[in-house]
Structure 1
Amino acid sequence: MADIWGRVLQVMESELRKPSFDTWLKSTRPVELFDNTLVVAVQNTFAQQWIESRYMPLILSALREAAGRPLDVRFVTPDAHQEVAAAAYRPDTVQPLAADPPPRDPAAPPSGADGPSPSGKDGRPPLYLNPKYTFESFVVGDSNRLAHAAALAVAESPARAYNPLFIYGGVGLGKTHLMQAIGHYVARYSPDLVVLYVSSETFTNELINAIRDDKTIEFKRRYRNIDVLLIDDIQFLAGKERTQEEFFHTFEALHGANRQIVISSDRPPKDIPTLEERLRSRFEWGLLADIQPPDLETR
């Protein structure tokens, strides 16, 4: 059983990009083989749902080849193992899980360099990212596992996973690292998409300059022709009514056009003082992912 799943993992590792394999499949383990169904444990429900929705056709194909016969697979969380294993004794309860075939992943290119990331569309804004802030360099632990997995899910499928994604946590816990990792990933693997990473302070300053120079139309065009908007430290919009109003309309335009929005803050939306209720409610439309202080192992 372990040998069969090990061969499946070898196939998946060769097919997927390293961040995807490491996040979703590397830690999986087989726990039961009964009535032509292999039961495999995953870390949590979040990972279970993502694997089932994205990778099932490829996994089933690799499993058939590794076992030399057709097998079904069922993914379970550790707590659900006993219940699902018992259900495996009843063949009528075991059904293969359907999913759309995922695209074949190419080999990952070299890491990015300093300065703007490469671009696939003319006239797009420069994307200034720290070359060290990638998914590969992010240290994952229990304190940040959900936020990391959600960020990777968004990077793999912009505007199709969680929109908006709101990442919050204290200073120095990795919010900016994850935000920029999304930017790197999308710029590398979806170069036709326009990505913009800015702080809320930059957004505010550019708005002030646009109003002063009578260039608000250009400002709106810059921020509303984005496929993936990454805006850091949104809590600094608190108390800035004009900036909040403009960001609300930017949010509406992007979300309405099915563009991805990722936001970070040092606190959840409900705890940001003087944040307009209409913004607060929209920030909570998608997924709220918090980052806790790291444990000793992660630290």
Structure 2
Amino acid sequence: MNDFWQQCSTLLEQELPSQQYQTWIKPLSLLEFDIEASTLHIAAPNRFKLDWVKSQFSSRIADLARDFCCKPMVVHFVLDPKVARRANGATMAGSVDSASVQLAAAADLTAQITSLNSTTSETSIGQQKNSAAAGSGWSGSPLTNHESSGAPERSKLNPVLTFENFVTGKANQLARAAAIQVADNPAVSYNPLFLYGGVGLGKTHLIHAIGNQLRQQKVGARIRYIHAEQYVSDVVKAYQRKAFDEFKRYYHSLDLLLIDDIQFFSGKSRTQEEFFYAFEALVANKAQVIITSDTYPKEISGIDDRLISRFDSGLTVAVEPPELEMRVAILLRKAHSEGVDLSEDVAFFVAKHLRSNVRELEGALRKILAYAKFHGREITIELTKEALKDLLTVQNRQISVDNIQKTVADRYGIKIADMYSKKRPADIARARQIAMYLAKELTQKSLPEIGELFGGRDHTTVLHAVRKIADVRSKDALLNRELHVLEQTLKG
């Protein structure tokens, strides 16, 4: 019995991404393995994981059991007997352990990316580090007289937003790795660093984390975090007060400029011109520039081409909506920071139904906590459904597989019927795979259910499509942008 489960686990670990394996397969245990009866019983630690593993992995486990026993085997999933004997309210211990495993897996992968980036540029970084520190603005000298009349006010970094409390997952691991590289080697690794993605995905958190780390490493460093709208306001005030020399002196003398939501520069030609001069001066002085936007640089309307070319000269990284495991980790960590014991079942329930961004997750958690406190009740799935009733209703009617199929078909110029047909021309097959991928990412449908909605295809076909598109997306910037546009269109 142990030989089979060890072999099965090893094969699944090789097939699945690390975070999926750690979250879904590793917590399982084999209770019974009866070759004569052709059955095996696998225990899951909670009801949510039981249902998820059953819908997503039962066929694969059954295939592995058949190969091991040389005959068909029936797989039964049950709730772990120890868990079944407990009361409905789970303790925080299991949740924290599981979240730690998830976060550790993501952290390991991020560390590998960081290590890879460090290795590829180790020589150049080592040669440039000292000269950059000596010959640039990284002298550590404080700003002088920047508070005087007409000069912009200095923005304060939010000290709460650090790398240590940034929850990492597949959706943001590259962005975090790049941010750490920049914090360790300002104006050497990537300049500018441009992070883009939808609202509430952690872009602002990351750039504050960079600023906070640099402030600790280089006391007195001249750092400014500013929202693009505030920068526009600074430009206007400089004109009104006839203080443009001071404005330029201030911005051109920074060591680190963090500018958030640069899409607000759209159509503001004078602001763009001043920012262009500031950007040129900062880069020439070996100062670091970090920019965020809700859109890929070339897709921001109303921005001068020369600015777009400067954005493209550094590193551009997408921050994607968090995947399921990451959403669970975010909820568990946030609840823990609030001193609340949130069961893993509740965290998975919320994460499964709310998919868009971190801000929405944290808002939902606050609503649950307030509802439970007001009613003096324990936080269970039933209470969670009551607390989030309106939000869940909106989410459930937002995106359907049918809508995904129509949107993708329209985007790639194929017929809706091609989504269900057996046709295999490359353009049709690719669009169909993209639609399957989006159905998996944006709806609550299981793989078999998605397959049925795509002309009765087997769930393994859907799984192959999902994995293929996810893999290509991580390597192909063009496809990543296309998927980003489709996701934003579907989410309205």
TM-score, L = length of structure 1? 0.63
Deviations 1:214-249 (A, max 9, x none): 111111111001011100100000010110111111
- Is 1:240 the counterpart of 2:236? The answer is no
Which residue type is aligned with residue 196 of structure 1?
Answer: R
Mapped partners of 1:98, 1:201: distance in 2: 36
Aligned to 1:49: 117
Residues 128 and 188 in structure 2, CA contact (< 8 A), matched pair in contact too: no
- Is 1:175 the counterpart of 2:234? The answer is no
Structure 1 residues 149 and 277: CA distance shift in structure 2, 3 A: same
Q: 1:132 aligns with which of 134, 142, 160?
A: 160
Mapped partners of 2:197, 2:229: distance in 1: 18
Aligned to 2:489: none
Aligned to 2:142: 121
Mapped partners of 1:102, 1:269: distance in 2: 28
Residues 169 and 322 in structure 2, CA contact (< 8 A), matched pair in contact too: yes
Mapped partners of 1:280, 1:296: distance in 2: 34
Shift of 1:53: 4.7
- Show the 5 A alignment for 1:216-231: 216-231=244-259
Question: How many residues are paired up?
Answer: 206
Mapped partners of 1:171, 1:267: distance in 2: 10
User: Secondary structure in 2 aligned to 1:154?
Assistant: helix
- Is 1:153 the counterpart of 2:164? The answer is no
Mapped partners of 2:256, 2:304: distance in 1: 23
Residues 167 and 291 in structure 1, CA contact (< 8 A), matched pair in contact too: yes
Shift of 1:98: 11
Provide the identity percentage: 43
Mapped partners of 1:144, 1:271: distance in 2: 21
Mapped partners of 1:129, 1:53: distance in 2: 29
- Is 1:165 the counterpart of 2:193? The answer is yes
Shift of 1:139: 0.5
Aligned to 1:186: 214
Structure 1 residues 101 and 283: CA distance shift in structure 2, 3 A: closer
Deviations 1:132-153 (A, max 9, x none): 2100010010000010011111
Gaps of 5+ in 1: 1-21, 29-41, 55-96, 104-118
Which residue type is aligned with residue 260 of structure 1?
Answer: Q
Which residue type is aligned with residue 118 of structure 2?
Answer: W
Structure 1 residues 282 and 262: CA distance shift in structure 2, 3 A: same
Mapped partners of 1:214, 1:159: distance in 2: 32
**Higher alpha-carbon Rg:** 2
Residues 143 and 222 in structure 2, CA contact (< 8 A), matched pair in contact too: no
- Show the 5 A alignment for 1:1-299: 27=108, 43-44=112-113, 47-51=115-119, 53-54=121-122, 100=126, 121-123=142-144, 126-299=154-327
Residues 197 and 319 in structure 2, CA contact (< 8 A), matched pair in contact too: yes
Mapped partners of 2:222, 2:176: distance in 1: 22
Residues 147 and 291 in structure 1, CA contact (< 8 A), matched pair in contact too: yes
Residues 107 and 168 in structure 2, CA contact (< 8 A), matched pair in contact too: no
Mapped partners of 1:258, 1:99: distance in 2: 13
Q: Which has the higher strand share?
A: 1
Mapped partners of 1:270, 1:227: distance in 2: 26
Shift of 1:190: 1.3
Residues 144 and 292 in structure 1, CA contact (< 8 A), matched pair in contact too: yes
Structure 1 residues 258 and 122: CA distance shift in structure 2, 3 A: closer
Residues 52 and 99 in structure 1, CA contact (< 8 A), matched pair in contact too: no
